[in-house]
Amino acid sequence: MRKAFISPSKYVQGEDELLNLGYFVNLFGKTALLIAHSDDVSRVKDKLDSTKRKFGIEFVESGFRGECSRQEVARLKELAKDKSCACTIGLGGGKAIDTAKCVAEGEALIIVPTIAATDAPTSHSAVLYTEDGAFDDYAYFKQSPSVVLIDTSVIANAPVRFLVSGMGDALSTYFEARATSNSYSNVNAGLPCGYREGVCGEAKGTNTALALAALCYQTLMKDGLKAKISCENKCVTQALENIVEANILLSGLGFESGGLGGAHAIHDGLTILEGTHKYYHGEKVAFGTLAQLVLENAPMSEINEVLNFCLEVGLPVCLSDIGVDRLSQEDLMAVAAKACIPEESIHAMPFPITVESVAAAIKTADTIGSNHKKNRGV
């Protein structure tokens, strides 16, 4: 059996770590292309200026236009070439990070998240969009970022909702990896590089990835609420450090090398409902996790543990929590059908999948979550 595991070459996390960014730039040269939204640059400008002086490096500002499109990637590649940039830095949220991945193509790449809202920073994949923001394609590169650098003091000063959304994304990691392991399905770590053309890498997940996914879940249960309170107070505690690691590193390694399952596919189905569009990825994945647990007939004790955690930190537990107050049978079946298209990760579940069974799981999860809220007086 062929197995695969992929990870960044170096992961560094701590307070004020942005002050050391210049050290990592110097591993490649003196000039780095900085791909970041102007607002994110403004948030950390003092630290960027300090690390430039300390390590004698230069940042080439990219004027990032905010969309990870083929046109923007081509423009930035040309800029990096013209300015003889030795490496690429993706600083900020998902779009800047994915654009940096596409520009670097797996070479000399430093990722600096300013929020802990998803597990994308460690991965070797990116999502491409059109210029007007519609989905275009997935891209996979030969290796993960060279360096992932996390400044937890920056994370602590970001809006709390980002951290909580990241916990929602991380919440699915163990359950999806468990399902993928039980079904012996392929994982993203085996995918070839380049823009995807329907070719899937034939590689299964490792025991290491499953263990990391389990640790991710354990960390959320132990430190999630304390980390949220720390972020509300804009301070760094050990609990916050642990949750940042869970949201970004443990979940990132867990999803890519452990596999995705029903939760993310149900998330993708839910995106066809207009009411969900103002909610973050991790918020919708949290409900998708509950629906996956119903789909696989998980023990009620496990479902209740997830429900209690979600309510504790402020994650959705029912459809109304993600902007869907009414769902017709027609819309429900459309969501389920979208979640079940052939290329979706729901087919990694260790049993046959039908549109009807997924629709039933979504409807049942919604009722269980709504009732749990009422019983808890929420």
Domain CATH number, residue 77: 3.40.50.1970
Binding region:
94-98, 119, 123, 129, 169, 264, 281
CA proximity to 35, closest of 79, 3, 84: 79
Q: Please state the separation of Cα 349 from the chain's center in Å.
A: 20
Contact status, residue 35 vs residue 68, Cβ threshold 8 Å? no
Confirm whether 199 is domain-assigned. Answer: no
CA proximity to 43, closest of 122, 113, 117: 113
Instruction: Please tell me which residue in 40, 124, 223, 264 is annotated as part of the active site.
Output: 264
CA proximity to 186, closest of 174, 202, 208: 202
Helix (H, G, I), strand (E, B) or coil at 346: helix
The token duo for 332 is 């429900």
Confirm whether 73 is domain-assigned. Answer: yes
Domain range for 244 is 163-190+205-375
Between strands 87-92 and 31-35, the pairing is parallel
Q: Are residues 285 and 356 in the same domain?
A: yes
Instruction: Please tell me which residue in 37, 281, 321, 372 is annotated as part of the active site.
Output: 281
Q: Are residues 128 and 179 in the same domain?
A: no
Q: Are residues 184 and 305 in the same domain?
A: yes
Q: Are residues 150 and 172 in the same domain?
A: no
Confirm whether 198 is domain-assigned. Answer: no
Average pLDDT over residues 322-342: 97
Q: How confident is the model at residue 202 (pLDDT cuts 50, 70, 90)?
A: confident
The verdict on whether 37 is a catalytic residue reads no
Binding region for NAD(+):
94-98, 123, 129
Q: Please tell me the distance from the alpha carbon of residue 130 to that of residue 139, in angstroms, as a whole number.
A: 14
Average pLDDT over residues 269-297: 96
Q: Are residues 52 and 24 in the same domain?
A: yes
Confirm whether 370 is domain-assigned. Answer: yes
Confirm whether 3 is domain-assigned. Answer: no
Kindly report the CATH number assigned to the domain that includes residue 212: 1.20.1090.10
The verdict on whether 267 is a catalytic residue reads yes
Quote the mean pLDDT of the chain.
95
Confirm whether 178 is domain-assigned. Answer: yes
Q: Are residues 214 and 345 in the same domain?
A: yes
Average pLDDT over residues 16-36: 98
Q: Which residues of 115-149 are buried (b: 16+ CB within 10 A; e: fewer)?
A: bbbbbbbbbbbbbbbeeeeeeeeebbbeebbbbbb
Average pLDDT over residues 95-116: 97
Contact status, residue 230 vs residue 239, Cβ threshold 8 Å? yes
The sign one gets for the Cα dihedral 205, 208, 214, 219 is negative
Q: Please tell me the distance from the alpha carbon of residue 188 to that of residue 202, in angstroms, as a whole number.
A: 9
Binding region for glycerol:
119, 169, 264, 281
Q: Are residues 282 and 186 in the same domain?
A: yes
Q: Are residues 48 and 77 in the same domain?
A: yes
- Whether the per-residue pLDDT at 214 is higher than 60: the answer is yes
The verdict on whether 372 is a catalytic residue reads no
Q: Please tell me the distance from the alpha carbon of residue 129 to that of residue 133, in angstroms, as a whole number.
A: 5
Q: Are residues 176 and 129 in the same domain?
A: no
Tell me: the pLDDT tens digits for 63-74? 999 999 999 999
Count of structural domains within the chain: 2
C-alpha distance from residue 262 to each of 46, 170, 287, 334, 350 (Å): 43, 14, 11, 16, 10
Instruction: Please tell me which residue in 40, 151, 169, 223 is annotated as part of the active site.
Output: 169
Confirm whether 200 is domain-assigned. Answer: no
Q: Are residues 134 and 238 in the same domain?
A: no
Between strands 194-195 and 31-35, the pairing is unpaired
- Whether the per-residue pLDDT at 198 is higher than 50: the answer is no
Instruction: Please tell me which residue in 37, 124, 267, 372 is annotated as part of the active site.
Output: 267
The verdict on whether 169 is a catalytic residue reads yes
Percent share of the chain, pLDDT over 90: 93
Q: Are residues 233 and 128 in the same domain?
A: no
pTM of the model: 0.95
- Whether the per-residue pLDDT at 193 is higher than 50: the answer is yes
Q: Are residues 240 and 320 in the same domain?
A: yes
Confirm whether 277 is domain-assigned. Answer: yes
